[in-house]
Structure 1
C-alpha cells in the first residue's frame, strides 16, 4: 500500500499519516477486531476520528507493529492478486513444496507421502489413504448413474458431491477434521471411477467393474492405473504414474487453485472447495490441455514425423500443444522429472522420441521447451490410455493441493477475496424496460 501525502499544517511540516481501522487491519493482515485488541494490550495507540466515527492510527506505528509481529502482507504488484502462502514457491525455473524441491520429493516418495507432507509438514513413509465404505458406495452409485459418454471430470465432480452427502461432519473446518476428510476423499474419487474400457472383472448388473481387493490395499497410483488403461499394471509405468501424481499436486495459485481458495475464503467445506477447483480445471487452457497434447502426439506417431503435424497447427493458427509455460524460461521441471521416469519404461520410447521431435521441429519456428502436458501425453499415449487420462491424473493429484490451500485459507480473514467491479454499463436512472413484442409465429392461428 502506498501512503498518501500527509496534509501540510502551514509551517512546512506534515502531520503524521493516519490510517482508518480498515486500512490498519489490511496493513497488518488481521481482522478489524484484532486491531482493537492490539490497542487494549497497549501495542497500538488510537485517536478518535473527526466527527467521532471510528478511530485512526499512526501509519508509522502500524508499520512498526507489522514488523514486530511479522503479519504484514507484501504489497501486490499493480493489477495482480497476491496472497501469502507457504505451500508452493516457484523460483528460478524450479518449484518447491514447503521449501523442498518438488521434483526430488516426487522422485523419492509416493503420492500419498508427498500429499501428507504438503498438508502437515510431516513425512509419514508408507502412508496409504483409504476410502470409507459409505462414501465409496455413494460415489459409485452416483457415477454409475451417469450417461456412458460422461467425461472423467464429470464423474469426479459427481463423486465429490456424493461423497460430501455421505459425510455429516463435512462442515467441521477444524484442521484435523479437514485432514481426515481429505485422506478419504482422494481414494474415494479414484474408487468411484469405472475401469478403463476393455478391462476385465466380474461385476453386479448395472454396476461398473471395480478394482480387485488387493488393489485397494496398494498405493493410489496402482488403484488409478486400472481406471486409465486396460493394460496390465507394469511396475515402471505405475512408478511413472505415481511420479506424475506427486509432481502435479500443486503449482502455486493456478486458476483452479484460486477458485478453490475463493470457496475456502467463504468457509465452504472441503468437498465444495474441491468442486470449485474441478469446475475450473476442465477448461482447455488448464487441466484439459494434456488431452490436446495426447491427440497431437498420437498423430505424430501415426504420420511418422512431427513436421506435418506442427505445420498443420501453425497453418491453422493454433499453438502447438504441450510447449511453453509462462512461469518457466526453460523446460518445465515437472516435464523434466516425468520424462526421466518415462525414459526407464521401454514401451514409452516411441512416444518419448515423438515428443522430442515435436520440440525440435517447433524450435525451427519458435524455441519453446516442453511443459508437463507433453510429458503427460507421452505417459497416456504409450500406455494405451484415452486422451482424457492426463486430465484425470491432473484432477486426482491436484485435489491434495486444493486441500492444502483450503487449510491455509481457513486461517485467514473470511471473504477477503472480494474485489470491486468497475461498472461500465448505462448510468442510472434508466427507464424500466418495455416488454418485447411476441414473435409473430406465436400469435399465428
Structure 2
C-alpha cells in the first residue's frame, strides 16, 4: 500500500508538509534506502505515518538537506529534469567550472586548457589539441562538397560525421578513448571550415608562435573574418571560447546527455548538440544581435531600432537571461576585454546604447550574445560568426556531460508521455479520413 502524505507542525510552530519516503527519495535524488541512512546518521528526522504505514519526513528539513548536499528538487509544475552534475554551477550572478570561477579561468587560461580542466579536473598549462590527418582530410572533403550557401553549423555537422567515419575506435566509451576523440575532434572542426571570403589563407594550426598567442582562437580567426588578427582581438575570441564551454543543462546539452545515455559515441553526442544549437533561441541568437547592432550603427542611434523591435512585439536581441538577474557574467568579461580593442569602440558604444534605451521600457541587462555581436561586428565577421564560436566552444562541454552520463545507468533519461489522443478502441480509418481530435 502507498505511503500517505500528511501534514504536521514544524519547529517554529507553523504547519509544514510531510513527505512519504518515496517523495523524500525523489526530492533528494537518492534511493529510499539512502533516506533511512540519513536518518540513522542524524541528518534527517522521521515520524511514523498514521496507522504505522511507513515513515514521513518534514519537507522543510528535506529541502535543507538537499541544499547542503548540492541536490536540487525537480519541479513538478514545470516538468523540469534535474541531473546531478559536477561540471558547472550557476549561483547568483556568477558561474563556476568544477567550483572555480569560470570568468577567472577564461581570463587566465586558453580554451584548450579550460576544456581539459572541465573534462578531467586537472589543469594542463600549454596543452594544444591537434587534428589527425585522416580525420581532417575526410572532414574537409565532406565540407567542400556542400553547396556554397551552406551555413557554418551545416559545415560543422557534416565535419563531425566525416571525422567519426575516420575514427574506428569511436565506439570505445572508456574515459581515455573519449578524451582522445574529443582532443582530435575540436581542431578538426575548426580546420575543416573554409577561410572567410577574402581571407588570404587560413592558418593550419601549428600552435602558438609566442607565449601570449591563443592556440585554437588563432586557427579559428581566419575562418571568421578576412581582417588580420591583432593580439587584443585574439584574446577576446579565445576568452569567448573558454567562457562558452558550458552553461549547465542548456537545451543542446540536454540533447547531448540523452544521446550519451543511449551510449551513442562522442561524435554522435556532438551531432545531437549541434542539431539543437542551430535553433534561433539558442546558439544562433548572437546573429540576431549582430544584425541589430549593424542597424544601430547605420541609423546612428539605438532608439529607432529598439522601438521597431518593441512595436513588432519582438524582444530586443542580446538582452536578458533567465538565469541571471543582472548582467550576464560572460558579457561583462567580454565587454571589459573589448574595451581594449580600438576598432570595437563604435560597436561597443552601440551595444551600451541598446541597453540604456531598452532600460526605459524594461530593466534587462546585456547577455553574452550582445558581447559576441560586438566582436563580430567590429571584426568584419558575418552575422553567423557568433554561432560558429558558440558551436566550437560548446563541443567541449557536450563531451564533459557525455563523460558524466556514460558513468550513469544507461537509458535512464526516459520521460513518460501523457497521452492526449482519442481514447481507444477507434475504428480503422478509411482513405483520407482524419484522426479524431485528442482529449486535451
**What TM-score results when the alignment is normalised by the length of structure 2?**
0.83
Render the CA deviation track for 1:114-168: whole Å, top value 9, x for unaligned. 0000000000000000000010000000000000000000000000000001000
Render the CA deviation track for 1:324-372: whole Å, top value 9, x for unaligned. 0000000000000010111111110110000000000111111110000
The answer to whether residue 323 in structure 2 is matched with residue 327 in structure 1 is yes
- What is the CA distance between 1:216 and its match in structure 2? 8.4
- CA 1:426 to 1:396, structure 2 compared with 1: closer, same or farther past 3 Å? same
- Superposed, 1:169-248 pairs within 5 Å as 169-201=169-201, 210-212=202-204, 214=206, 219-248=215-244
- What is the CA distance between 1:200 and its match in structure 2? 1.4
Cα RMSD for the two superposed structures? 2.9
- CA 1:58 to 1:403, structure 2 compared with 1: closer, same or farther past 3 Å? farther
- Superposed, 1:64-83 pairs within 5 Å as 74-78=72-76, 79=78, 80-83=80-83
The answer to whether residue 327 in structure 2 is matched with residue 312 in structure 1 is no
Render the CA deviation track for 1:205-234: whole Å, top value 9, x for unaligned. xxxxx4346468860000000000001111
SS in structure 2 at match of 1:180: helix
Task: Tell me, in whole angstroms, the C-alpha distance in 2 between the residues paired with 1:178 and 1:157.
Answer: 18
Match of 1:95 in 2: 95
SS in structure 2 at match of 1:161: helix
C-alpha contact (below 8 Å) 1:29/1:73 kept by paired residues: no
Gaps of 5+ in 2: 7-19, 38-52, 57-64, 434-440
SS in structure 2 at match of 1:95: strand
- What is the CA distance between 1:299 and its match in structure 2? 0.6
The answer to whether residue 284 in structure 2 is matched with residue 288 in structure 1 is yes
Match of 1:43 in 2: none
Render the CA deviation track for 1:177-213: whole Å, top value 9, x for unaligned. 0111111110000010000001114xxxxxxxx4346
Match of 1:436 in 2: 432
Number of equivalent positions:
390
C-alpha contact (below 8 Å) 2:27/2:73 kept by paired residues: no
- Superposed, 1:23-422 pairs within 5 Å as 29=30, 74-78=72-76, 79=78, 80-201=80-201, 210-212=202-204, 214=206, 219-422=215-418
SS in structure 1 at match of 2:90: strand
Render the CA deviation track for 1:288-345: whole Å, top value 9, x for unaligned. 0000000000010111110111111111111110000000000000000010111111
C-alpha contact (below 8 Å) 2:286/2:318 kept by paired residues: yes
- CA 1:160 to 1:3, structure 2 compared with 1: closer, same or farther past 3 Å? farther
SS in structure 2 at match of 1:89: strand
C-alpha contact (below 8 Å) 1:293/1:377 kept by paired residues: yes
Task: Tell me, in whole angstroms, the C-alpha distance in 2 between the residues paired with 1:275 and 1:4.
Answer: 45
C-alpha contact (below 8 Å) 1:190/1:223 kept by paired residues: yes
**What TM-score results when the alignment is normalised by the length of structure 1?**
0.82
SS in structure 2 at match of 1:408: helix
Could you say which structure has the larger radius of gyration? 1
Task: Tell me, in whole angstroms, the C-alpha distance in 2 between the residues paired with 1:392 and 1:436.
Answer: 45
C-alpha contact (below 8 Å) 1:119/1:404 kept by paired residues: yes
- CA 1:213 to 1:239, structure 2 compared with 1: closer, same or farther past 3 Å? closer
Task: Tell me, in whole angstroms, the C-alpha distance in 2 between the residues paired with 1:271 and 1:435.
Answer: 43
Moved over 3 A (4+): 2-6, 23-30, 57-60, 70-75, 212-218
Render the CA deviation track for 1:74-116: whole Å, top value 9, x for unaligned. 5422232111000000011110000000000001100000000
Task: Tell me, in whole angstroms, the C-alpha distance in 1 between the residues paired with 2:29 and 2:367.
Answer: 38
